[in-house]
Structure 1
Amino acid sequence: MAYAGSAVLEGDAAAFAAAIRSLVNNPRFSDVTFVVGRERQEVFAHRCILACRCQTFQGMLCQPQPGAQEPWPPQTPLVLSHVQPEVFLAVIEFLYTNSVTLNSLIALEVFTSAVEYGLVDLRKLCVEFLTGALSVELVCEALQAAVTYGQMDLQQHCLVFVEDHTREVVQTRGFHELSGAALGVVLQSDRLAIDEPDLIRAVREWAHVSSVECIAEAWKCHALRKGRGAPSRLYQCRRGTQPREHHSYLQ
């Protein structure tokens, strides 16, 4: 007796997605509760969804409660005091729907959470959003996050923006709060659109907020940048540096 071949037939994807979305932060049928942020806001979830979507949550939910042998019981809330409720809800939204609602106020923290939870696709969505939302005020915070977490794709996008808007960026609070490592990424660029003395003044102002450790390195890096050409071109000026008489000696 012959049997017809099997086939995968799909129903209404939109209806399915809407049904799953309705479970986001829904206390009905939830079996795990998070207490999030300083506001101690309750967020409801379903451990089967969290566990199959994120290994970090899988490990968190499988770990026994301190002093107990069994996995974390449903009636005991998990306290996450270090994250904003809006940020955590964005992560939960992604885990349930594979999409996320972002704005410039939470995007960086969602990006940070994505890295910490190992959510590669969410991290990529955050980078996509941040790349399109970069501004003079936001770019240094984004660069700092990229350097801290070793995210080279976001770091490169931020650096290109800084190169094109250097004069405005160095006057922001975000620039003055960069770590030494993040500032070093900026100072190593050949394409900063600012004259050398102006940049050094900006670094000195940064030092009042941070430290003086990078001033000497900044001066050396920008006064004499090694060229990549023939041996006769040992040094070359950067893009934003204005021509000066003594530059002839650098050739």
Structure 2
Amino acid sequence: MAAPCSARSLQGEAAAFTAALRTLVNNPQFSDVTFVVGREQQKVFAHRCVLACRCQAFRGMLSQGPPGSEDSPSSISPQGPFILGNVQPEVFLAVIEFLYTNSVTLNSHIALEVLTSSVEYGLQDLCKESPDAITHGCPVVIWLDDALCIKFIKDTLSVEQVCEALQAAVTYGQTDLQQHCLAFIEGCTAAVVRTQGFHELSDVVLARVLRSDRLAVDELDLVQAVREWAHVSSAVLERPVSEVAALPVQELRLPLLAPSELATLERQNQRDLLIPAESIAAAWRSHALKKGSGVPSHLCQPRRGTRPRDHHRHLDPHAK
């Protein structure tokens, strides 16, 4: 009786396989689907079988065909074009590269948008975090075994980009990235509040930042930064300053200001109504009564960057 035949799987060289697939990225040869991407209307060539097996979102898109197309999913003729006007070609090509090679070439200019696209396309491997990192050089190829999009963002974070990263982290529920961005902001708050990204934060995210006790900026400067943010948001949203700022101003710690600063703030407030009158009145009461009477206790807590004022000792609930 013949001995049973045993079989086993033999693993070839992964790097050679990846390199071969990389040659197919945006290669018109044998391509059967075309995308027209971004304002530049750049053509990107791809292969349906790769996209469909790697990404459910693309599988659904390709099985329906582009608007007006009569091609069936089983057609072997070139399919497309699919118009993707709201994504940068460089970002879309990074996503395609990941689908073909399980790695992605990132730089700091596109990392956040690649994260956005990876969430939209359901590429969980691309937007999950990994304990290791490749952080040197730009651009950098990020492999699944080393680091992915969020790790790259965290390791290349800058003053100019941190608010945009925080906004994206909140939008897509990336808790660890949120905490990392907030810690970064706490370390260099005075510089961050002057950036365009700070002025583009949503009211919800700005309010979250303002709840921190560790912001490295004085309260008077923080009030001015929120005022500038509110005027930008008011212009963009075409809504009154007081309306767009209703949530963040609740986190301003007005009792920390000295009487002269509070008087100046009150005069400024008459022009734009940034801060509700009752909030300013409560701050005045804290001065008159020499304690934080009627003011939530956290609004009397100095932040890490708060410059000391004489009256602060009266606001400390533990002071005798």
TM-score normalised by length of structure 1: 0.89
Match of 2:72 in 1: 70
Identity over the aligned pairs, expressed in percent? 66
Q: Which one-letter code corresponds to 1:9 in the other structure?
A: L
Which structure 2 residue ranges, 5 or more long, are not aligned? 129-147, 235-240, 257-294
Q: 1:200, 1:218 within 8 Å by CA — same for their partners in 2? A: no
**Bigger shift: residues 48-57 or 216-225:** 216-225
Counterpart position of 2:124: 120
1:107 aligned residue (107, 111, 118): 111
Indicate if the aligned counterparts of 2:66 and 2:81 stay in contact, CA closer than 8 A.
Answer: no
Structure 2 CA distance, aligned partners of 1:225 and 1:130? 36
Residue 49 of structure 1 deviates from its aligned partner by 0.7
The C-alpha deviation readout for 1:135-173, integer Å capped at 9, x for no partner, is: 111111111222222222221111110000101101111
Q: Deviations over 1:168-199 (max 9, x none)?
A: 10111111121112211211112111111111
1:66 positional shift: 4.0
Q: Secondary structure of 2:252's match?
A: helix
Deviation by residue 1:194-238 (Cα, 9 ceiling, x = unmatched): 1111111111111121143245313258856646xxxxxx95322
Distance 1:225 1:132 in 2: 37
**Structure 1 residue 60: Cα displacement:** 0.6
Residue of structure 2 in register with 1:218 after alignment: 251
Cα distance change of structure 1 residues 18 and 216 upon mapping to structure 2, 3 Å threshold: closer
Residue 44 of structure 1 pairs with residue 67 of structure 2: no
Show CA shifts across 1:74-116 (max 9, x none): 3431111111111100000000011111111111111110111
Within-5 A mapping of 1:100-249: 100-124=104-128, 125-211=148-234, 212=241, 213-214=245-246, 216-220=249-253, 226=297, 236-249=301-314
Structure 2 residue 29 is matched with structure 1 residue 6: no
Using the size of structure 2 for normalisation, the TM-score is: 0.71
1:24 match: secondary structure? coil
Using a 3 Å threshold, how does the CA distance of structure 1 residues 43 and 238 change in structure 2: closer, same or farther? same
Question: Could you say which residue in structure 1 is the equivalent of 2:23?
Answer: 22
**Could you tell me whether the CA contact under 8 Å between 2:65 and 2:80 is conserved in 1?**
no
- Contact (CA 8 Å) 1:61, 1:72: kept in 2 or not? no
* Contact 1:188-1:221 within 8 A present in 2 as well: no
Where does residue 59 of structure 2 map in the other structure?
A: 58
Question: How many residues are matched?
Answer: 245
More off after superposition, 8-17 vs 19-28: 8-17
Distance 1:119 1:83 in 2: 16
Cα-Cα RMSD: 2.2
DSSP-derived class of the 1:33 partner: strand
1:84 aligns with 2:85: no
Q: CA deviation at 1:243?
A: 2.5
